[in-house]
Structure 1
Amino acid sequence: MLDTATRANAAFASPLDVLRGQPLGRIGTLEIRLAANAGEVAAAQELRYKVFYEECGAGRHSAPSTDRRDADRFDDICDHLLVFDTAMPGPRHRQIVGTYRLLGQEAAQKSGGFYSQDEFALDALIDRHPTKRFLELGRSCVLPAYRSKRTIEALWQGIWAYVTQNRVDAMVGCASFHGVQPQAHAEALSYLWHHCRANAEWSVSAVAKRYHRMDLMPLEAVGTKSALLGLPPLIKGYLRVGARIGDGCVIDDDFGTVDVFIVMPVGAIGARYVNYYTGEANRSAG
């Protein structure tokens, strides 16, 4: 079997494709790069299992993993962005403290579609933009001790380097609220509906059979401060860099979450973030 990272690169290659194993960013002792071998991918899957299954209770409707990894068919066609704490003792793959899974459009189309298409009608968006290259972000995961602004910035350094070098036009993916009751997040979901929805050009709807309304409260009843406090940090981070939200949310019973769709046209990302992450990545990797 081909090394996971090699297969992903072959499917999502470009003249400026990222160099395997080379740092894409660095903040203090944190280093960001793509998984270079199957062992590092396995370590990322183990980290995901710790967070999603052991901490958050995912997998309630599926057979338990005997190897204690969160893994599926998409792992073999994705690139895996990793954050290493180089100050940690032990072998390199045991220094992984955060990860993101990156699925390019070419790889997805050759392998049956994007992961999020089971929940959201992504085909319609892609059809409206036939000349643009899409990248799906997923399986965002950071160990509890590293859930800080510094780690998030390290991840974004790596994402931005990847997006730039692979000429990506738009990033998409799901983001989650904990629990399976949309009403428990009524104010936050309503805030996203009223203030953060994508326009017609970039709109994506939840698939009809899984669609749940997000406009659970009228505009005048939504308090901005309390709604923002109710948003998961990942969603707030996406909104800060210019992301918009799709139409409708989806309940993921197996992972125990309420999912919304994130769409980030690269051209809509704020200039200050582009300058910041481009500059930081260049300085760190240089």
Structure 2
Amino acid sequence: MSSQSQFDRDVPRPAPTLPGLPFVPAMLRGTASRFLPGFGLPIALPESFGRLGSLEVRLAAGPQEIKRAQRLRYKVFYEEMSAVPVGLAALKRRDIDAYDAICDHLLVLDHAVKRKPFRAPKPKVVGTYRLLRGDVAEAHSGFYTAGEFDIAPLLDRHRGRNLLELGRSCVLRPYRNKKTVELLWAGIWAYVQRHSIDAMIGCASLEGTDPDRLAVPLSFLHHFARAEPEWSARPRPGRLVRMDRIAAEAIDRKAALLSLPPLVKAYLRVGAKFGEGAAIDRQFGTTDVFVALPVEAISGRYINYFGPTANRYAA
């Protein structure tokens, strides 16, 4: 997840689809929804992408669920990790930026929570991803990733292809297990299928801002997982941090893999590759790398595992 968002102008808030009904994300309008009983009006919820026990993966249904995702991001990025809150994030204790208004928010929810007296049941948000489609980015102020990496040449090379930016991924500590990660990927795969996505791009973070202390994982990604030129991107001018800090022959590959964050390892497993050079994100206290994952490069065993129509965890 990359750090700063630099919008040239404020992004307008999405409007509700129908008067009196909860907000439905713009990219979901016209798709199947289901209705659950609550107090007062029924609550329109996006179609479930899958379930495992008490956990479910689906898109956020409206502003209140997006706020809950932002609170989770704040807890992980600012309270657990070393991000420094500024502006609204500091005031509201939520990880907030202007991109939240134009993105879809993928959630993993735990339904096994105690019901509060006199309130409708509310599942707990335990994992999230932020999804930004290329057509939506183009209609507003571009991709978030462009704040750190010069992706304009890549976008020009793949003009006409449907791109999806992945970002702001995090999972609540007690839920950082195979089940939650698989549900997130099942949700992403379902979203990719639904919107005919050709490739996914974004940033992934290594904790810390000292490249020398991250020499092993950075060098491993540079030598053994570098993207082909057509899918590569470099940091913006003045932000380049060399990744080839150790010679390829001096790297213990097994130790290097163990040093990678779980999210980066997950990207590697499904077939993602990484760009040329890293960028330091001082606000979030991370060193970020560019990630590219063309759908055609996804390992066949993962497509078979989640199902060609993303139906492995269908409810």
Residue 145 (structure 2) aligned to one of 104, 112, 116: 116
Cα gap change, 1:191/1:240 in structure 2, threshold over 3 Å: closer, same or farther? Answer: same
Cα gap change, 1:64/1:9 in structure 2, threshold over 3 Å: closer, same or farther? Answer: closer
1:261 matched to 2:315? The reply is no
SS in 1 for 2:182: helix
Residue 212 (structure 2) aligned to one of 183, 189, 198: 183
Deviations 1:71-104 (A, max 9, x none): 1000000000000111122465551100000001
Amino acid at match of 2:245: L
Cα gap change, 1:150/1:48 in structure 2, threshold over 3 Å: closer, same or farther? Answer: same
CA contact (8 A) 2:167 2:202 kept: yes
SS in 1 for 2:283: coil
SS in 1 for 2:174: helix
Residue 250 (structure 1) aligned to one of 279, 289, 303: 279
| C-alpha distance in structure 2 between counterparts of 1:48 and 1:142, whole Å | 8
| C-alpha distance in structure 1 between counterparts of 2:107 and 2:262, whole Å | 19
The farther-off stretch of 275-284 and 41-50 is: 275-284
Amino acid at match of 2:280: I
Q: Could you list the runs of 5+ residues in structure 2 that have no partner in the other structure?
A: 1-12, 17-21, 34-44
SS in 2 for 1:9: helix
1:56 matched to 2:81? The reply is yes
Tell me which residue corresponds to 2:245: 216
Residue 156 (structure 1) aligned to one of 185, 194, 205: 185
Alpha-carbon offset, residue 24 of structure 1: 0.4
CA contact (8 A) 1:62 1:254 kept: no
Q: Could you list the runs of 5+ residues in structure 1 that have no partner in the other structure?
A: none
Cα gap change, 1:224/1:131 in structure 2, threshold over 3 Å: closer, same or farther? Answer: same
CA contact (8 A) 1:31 1:83 kept: yes
Residue 101 (structure 1) aligned to one of 130, 143, 146: 130
Tell me which residue corresponds to 1:126: 155
1:278 matched to 2:307? The reply is yes
Residue 32 (structure 1) aligned to one of 51, 54, 57: 57
Deviations 1:171-198 (A, max 9, x none): 0111001111111110111010001000
Amino acid at match of 1:197: R
The aligned length equals: 282
CA contact (8 A) 2:278 2:289 kept: yes
1:236 matched to 2:265? The reply is yes
Tell me which residue corresponds to 1:9: 27
| C-alpha distance in structure 2 between counterparts of 1:82 and 1:176, whole Å | 20
Amino acid at match of 2:150: A
| C-alpha distance in structure 1 between counterparts of 2:199 and 2:239, whole Å | 24
Larger Rg: 2
Cα gap change, 1:280/1:26 in structure 2, threshold over 3 Å: closer, same or farther? Answer: farther
| C-alpha distance in structure 2 between counterparts of 1:135 and 1:183, whole Å | 32
What TM-score, normalized by structure 2, do the two folds share? 0.84
Amino acid at match of 1:216: R
SS in 1 for 2:230: coil
CA contact (8 A) 2:56 2:183 kept: yes
CA contact (8 A) 1:7 1:76 kept: no
The farther-off stretch of 186-195 and 199-208 is: 199-208
Tell me which residue corresponds to 1:192: 221
Amino acid at match of 1:81: L
| C-alpha distance in structure 2 between counterparts of 1:280 and 1:87, whole Å | 28
Q: Structure 1 vs Structure 2: percent identity of aligned residues?
A: 49
Amino acid at match of 2:76: V
Alpha-carbon offset, residue 207 of structure 1: 1.3
Alpha-carbon offset, residue 18 of structure 1: 6.7
Amino acid at match of 2:251: V
Tell me which residue corresponds to 2:235: 206
| C-alpha distance in structure 2 between counterparts of 1:231 and 1:284, whole Å | 28
Higher helix proportion: 1
CA contact (8 A) 1:5 1:35 kept: no
| C-alpha distance in structure 2 between counterparts of 1:76 and 1:47, whole Å | 17
Cα gap change, 1:150/1:7 in structure 2, threshold over 3 Å: closer, same or farther? Answer: closer
Alpha-carbon offset, residue 209 of structure 1: 1.3
Amino acid at match of 2:167: G
CA contact (8 A) 1:252 1:258 kept: yes
